[in-house]
Amino acid sequence: MAQRLHPGGRARSGERSRPRGSKRARREAPAGAGCLRAWTEENDGLAGGWRASRSSGPGRAAQQAARRCRLAFDSLLRKIQGLPAALPSLSLELTVLYNSLLFAVSESDGLVEGEAERINHGLIRVLEACGVSGQDLSTEELWQKVLQDVTTEELCAPLHRLGALQGAVWLAANCLGSVTGLFRLLSDTKGPLPSAHGGENELLALLKAWSVPVEGDTSPLVVQSTKDLKEILWTSAAFLQGLQGLEAGNLPTALSLLQAAASGFCSKRVLAQIYTCIGCCTQQMGKPQTALQHLKRALQVDFQCLSALSQAALVYRQLGETDAELEALALLYKALETPAQEAVSIDPCFLIRTELLVHTPALASLFSRSHPSEVKYLLAQRCLQAGRVGEAVEHYLDLLALLQEGPQHQVPLHGRSALPRIPEVFLEAASALEQLGRYQDAIAVCEEIISRTDDLIPETLRIELDSGAGGEAPGRAGSPSPGIPPQQRESLRCIVWRAAAYLHQGRAWARLGESKEAITRFTRCLNVLLRVQLVSAASIQSSEEMAEALPEAKVLQKIRLLALLGRGSQFQELGRDKEALMNFQHSLQVCPGDPAATSHLLRALWKLNRRQEAAALWQKLHADAAPADGQQEAPGRCVRPYPLYLVSCLKQVNLPHDESLARSLQDYLRTSGQDP
C-alpha cells in the first residue's frame, strides 16, 4: 500500500532489484521531496565528514569532532522525530538514530540509560508508523513486535542495524539473555540453532549466523558499518562469556571462549587483556608454561598491559623461578613509576569498541592498576623469602621511603592490597636489616614500632576465647574470629608487633655483643607478652586449637619462646648459667617438646654438670624425634606459616648439631649403663 502512490515516477518496489538505478532516481527526485532529501543529504554529509576526518587518528581533535557530530546528529534526529512517524522517512530516521547513538555510546563510555530509552522511542515510532501501538511494552517485547509486524523491506536493514546496536547496549549491561533473544529474532530462528551443539556457544553461533543487511549505495550513510559492529559484538560476546566462565570456575569453556575472542576483532589493548585472561585461565588449569606464553603474548601486543606482568610474576612464583619473578616485578615497578597513559576515549575508526561493551567486576579487579608501593613490597618480600637479603634490604628501605612520601603517592590500605599492615612492613624491614648485619639500623626501625605502639597497648589484655571460634578454615589468614571484639584484636596485634620489635632489638644487641642491652630487650619483650591473658573455654585444650581460634596466639607463643631462648643464651654468654637454665626450662614449658628449646636446655644442663637430667632429656628428645620428623613435614595439615619477620629468628634459634656433646652424652649413657 505504501508503494502505491509515488508521484514522480519513483517506483520503490524496483529499488532492491536495481539499487544503483534507484539511487539515481532518488537523487533526481523532484523538489517536492525536499525535506527527506535534505535530511538524507545532511546525514550523508555528516557521516561522510566523519569518515573523512577519522584519518587524523585518535586524539583530542577526534574527540571534539565526535562531540560535534553527536550534537549534529542529535539535532537532525530531533528534526525528524518532530514530525509524526511516516514510513518513507523511517528508514532515514532509524539510520540517523543509529548514527547518533553510536556517538552517544562512544562518548558516554559507560552506556547510560538514555541510549536504551532512545532505542525504545525509535521502535515505538516504527510501530506508530505502521499503525500499531507500542506503549507499555518492554524493550524485548518491542523488538519482538517490531521484527514480527514490520514487514516493509526498506526498513529491514536499518532495523537490523539498530538491533546490532541494541545488542551492544545489552552486552554492556551484561544482559546476555536479552542479546541472545534479540539475535534469535534477527536471524529468524525460533529455537536454539541447529549448529549450536553442545560445544559451541549459542550466542556466538547466532551472531555468526546473522546476516548483516546489505548497505547499498542508496541507503543513508552510517558512521560505523554494521559489519564492523557485528565483529565487535562477536568478540565482546565471546570475551564477556569467557570472563563469566572464568569467574564461575568453568575453566575449559572459558578457555575456548577466550580463545575465540582472541581470534576476533578488537584493539591491541583488549587483545592483551584477552591474552592475560587466557593466561589466568590456563594457570588455574595447571598449565603454567602455556599461561606464561599467553602472558608474554599479551605484553608483546600491548606493553601497557601491566596486569600481564603481575600475573607472570605470580606464575613464575608458582614455578619457583625466583629470578624471573623478581625481574617481572622489577619491570612492573618501573612501568608503574611512569604515569599511566590516558585511555583513548574515542577511536575515530571504531566508535563502538570492545572496551565499551565488556564491563565485569572480575575484569575490573584483574586489570586494576596496582600501586607502586604494593609492587615494591612484593619485590622486597620475595627477595627476603628467597634469602636475597641485600636486595631485600634495598627494597625495604625504598618502600619505607615511599610510604613516608606525600599524599601524591597513595598507599593501598584496603583489603585487596598486597601490602600487609604497616608495622609488619617495618618488622620485615628490621628482620632483613638484621640478617644483613645492619644491626643498628634494625634497632632503629624497631624503635619506631615500639614508640608508636607505646600508647596503644593496655596494661592487661584479657581475651576470652570462645570455642565457637575454632571452626574456621585455617587457610583464610587473619579473618576475624567471631567473638573477639575488633578493638581487643587490634590491641593484641599491637602487642605482638611490639614484642616482635623488642625481640629483634634483643637479637641485634646480642649480635653486637651487648649482652646486657640484649637481656633488657628480651625482658621487655617478655613483659609485653605477659600483658595478654588468654582465657580459653573448656573446649579448647591444646595449643593447636588455641592457635586456630586465634592465630595471633600462636605467634605470641613463638615470640615468647624465642625471647626466652635469646635471653638464656645471653645469660650463658655472661656466664650466668643458672639463670640461663631457668630461661630454657621456661621456654620448654611454653612450647613443650620444641627441639630448639630442648637442645638449649640439654646443653645448659650438661654445662652445669647435671648429667643425669641431661641424659634423660636427650633420650626423650631422641624418642620424640623419630616420629616427629615424619610429622613435621606432613602436607596434610595446613599449618599457618609464621609471619615473615619471625622466619629468620626461627631458623637461627636452632643450635647446630653439636657432635662432641652428642658423643659425650652417649659416653655418659654407656658408662651409666643406660645405653638404649
Q: With binding defined as CB under 8 A, does residue 110 bind another protein?
A: no
Look at strands 461-465 and 532-536 and give their pairing.
parallel
Q: How far is the CB of 129 from another protein (least distance, A)?
A: 7
Q: With binding defined as CB under 8 A, does residue 10 bind another protein?
A: yes
Q: How far is the CB of 381 from another protein (least distance, A)?
A: 15
Which residue, 289 or 410, is less far from another protein as judged by CB? 410
Place of cell 640478617: 435
Q: d(Cα 648, Cα 565) in Å, to the nearest integer?
A: 14
| Cell of residue 623, nine digits | 624418642
Which residue, 42 or 391, is less far from another protein as judged by CB? 42
Q: Of the candidates 14, 18, 28, 32, which one interacts with another protein according to CB under 8 A? A: 32
Which residue, 340 or 623, is less far from another protein as judged by CB? 340
Q: How far is the CB of 421 from another protein (least distance, A)?
A: 6
Distance, CA of 536 to chain centre: 38
Which residue, 108 or 488, is less far from another protein as judged by CB? 488
CA atoms within 13 A on the CB side of 201: 27
Stretch of residues binding another protein (CB under 8 A), selected from 103-111, 157-165, 341-349, 419-427? 419-427
Q: Of the candidates 17, 84, 575, 641, which one interacts with another protein according to CB under 8 A? A: 84
Helix axis angle, 202-209 to 176-186, nearest 10°: 30
Q: How far is the CB of 428 from another protein (least distance, A)?
A: 13
Q: Which of 59, 172, 33, 153 is nearest to 115 (CA)?
A: 172
Stretch of residues binding another protein (CB under 8 A), selected from 85-93, 310-318, 322-330, 631-639? 85-93
| Cell of residue 362, nine digits | 572480575
Q: How far is the CB of 330 from another protein (least distance, A)?
A: 23
Site for another protein in 632-671 (CB under 8 A): none
Stretch of residues binding another protein (CB under 8 A), selected from 245-253, 287-295, 473-481, 586-594? 473-481
Q: With binding defined as CB under 8 A, does residue 535 bind another protein?
A: no
Which residue, 416 or 657, is less far from another protein as judged by CB? 416
Stretch of residues binding another protein (CB under 8 A), selected from 145-153, 260-268, 404-412, 604-612? 404-412
Amino acid at 319: L
Q: Of the candidates 61, 71, 112, 456, which one interacts with another protein according to CB under 8 A? A: 456
Site for another protein in 321-380 (CB under 8 A): 361, 364-365, 368, 371
Q: d(Cα 319, Cα 57) in Å, to the nearest integer?
A: 43
Q: How far is the CB of 472 from another protein (least distance, A)?
A: 13
Q: Measure Cα distances from 312 to 275, 299, 317, 380, 391 in Å.
A: 12, 10, 8, 17, 21
Q: d(Cα 342, Cα 300) in Å, to the nearest integer?
A: 19
| Cell of residue 90, nine digits | 523511517
Q: Of the candidates 208, 452, 610, 640, which one interacts with another protein according to CB under 8 A? A: 452
Which residue, 285 or 403, is less far from another protein as judged by CB? 403
Q: With binding defined as CB under 8 A, does residue 100 bind another protein?
A: no
Query: For the chain, what's the residue count?
Result: 676
Q: How far is the CB of 34 from another protein (least distance, A)?
A: 5
Q: In sequence order, what are the beta bridge partners of 347? A: 350
Q: d(Cα 259, Cα 264) in Å, to the nearest integer?
A: 9
- Are 336 and 410 in contact by the 8 Å Cβ rule? The answer is no
Query: Phi/psi zone of residue 136: left (φ > 0), alpha (ψ -120 to 50 degrees), beta?
Result: left
Which residue, 499 or 604, is less far from another protein as judged by CB? 499
Q: Of the candidates 49, 53, 86, 247, which one interacts with another protein according to CB under 8 A? A: 86
Site for another protein in 476-495 (CB under 8 A): 476-480, 486-488, 490-491, 493-494
Query: Phi/psi zone of residue 212: left (φ > 0), alpha (ψ -120 to 50 degrees), beta?
Result: beta
Q: Of the candidates 17, 60, 82, 575, which one interacts with another protein according to CB under 8 A? A: 82
Size of the site for another protein (CB under 8 A): 82
Sequence-distant (6+) residues with CB within 8 A of 248 are: 254
Q: d(Cα 553, Cα 543) in Å, to the nearest integer?
A: 9
Q: Of the candidates 327, 448, 466, 573, which one interacts with another protein according to CB under 8 A? A: 448
Q: With binding defined as CB under 8 A, does residue 83 bind another protein?
A: yes
Site for another protein in 545-584 (CB under 8 A): none
Q: d(Cα 456, Cα 251) in Å, to the nearest integer?
A: 48
Stretch of residues binding another protein (CB under 8 A), selected from 81-89, 138-146, 246-254, 428-436? 81-89
Q: What is the DSSP letter of 476?
A: S
Residue 414 buriedness (CB in 10 A; 0-12 / 13-18 / 19+): exposed
Q: Of the candidates 461, 512, 537, 621, which one interacts with another protein according to CB under 8 A? A: 461
Q: How far is the CB of 13 from another protein (least distance, A)?
A: 11
Which residue, 129 or 171, is less far from another protein as judged by CB? 129
Q: How far is the CB of 291 from another protein (least distance, A)?
A: 25
Could you give the 3-state DSSP secondary structure of residue 217?
coil
Q: With binding defined as CB under 8 A, does residue 88 bind another protein?
A: yes
Q: d(Cα 196, Cα 210) in Å, to the nearest integer?
A: 13
- Calculate ∠ Cα 579-581-585, nearest 5°: 120
Q: % helix / strand / coil in the chain, to the nearest 5? A: 70, 0, 30
Stretch of residues binding another protein (CB under 8 A), selected from 31-39, 186-194, 195-203, 264-272? 31-39
Q: With binding defined as CB under 8 A, does residue 36 bind another protein?
A: yes
Which residue, 7 or 199, is less far from another protein as judged by CB? 7
Which residue, 506 or 643, is less far from another protein as judged by CB? 643
Q: Of the candidates 460, 542, 609, 660, which one interacts with another protein according to CB under 8 A? A: 460
Q: In sequence order, what are the beta bridge partners of 463? A: 534
Q: Of the candidates 15, 22, 39, 521, which one interacts with another protein according to CB under 8 A? A: 39
Place of cell 626423650: 620
Question: Which H/E stretch holds residue 463?
Answer: strand 461-465
Question: Which H/E stretch holds residue 400?
Answer: helix 389-404
Which residue, 5 or 626, is less far from another protein as judged by CB? 5
Q: d(Cα 471, Cα 530) in Å, to the nearest integer?
A: 27
Q: With binding defined as CB under 8 A, does residue 457 bind another protein?
A: yes
Give the burial string for 530-559 (b: 16+ CB within 10 Å, else e): ebbebebeeebeeeebbbbbbbbbbbbbbb
Q: With binding defined as CB under 8 A, does residue 289 bind another protein?
A: no
Q: How far is the CB of 653 from another protein (least distance, A)?
A: 25
Site for another protein in 115-144 (CB under 8 A): 121, 129, 131
Question: Which H/E stretch holds residue 532?
Answer: strand 532-536
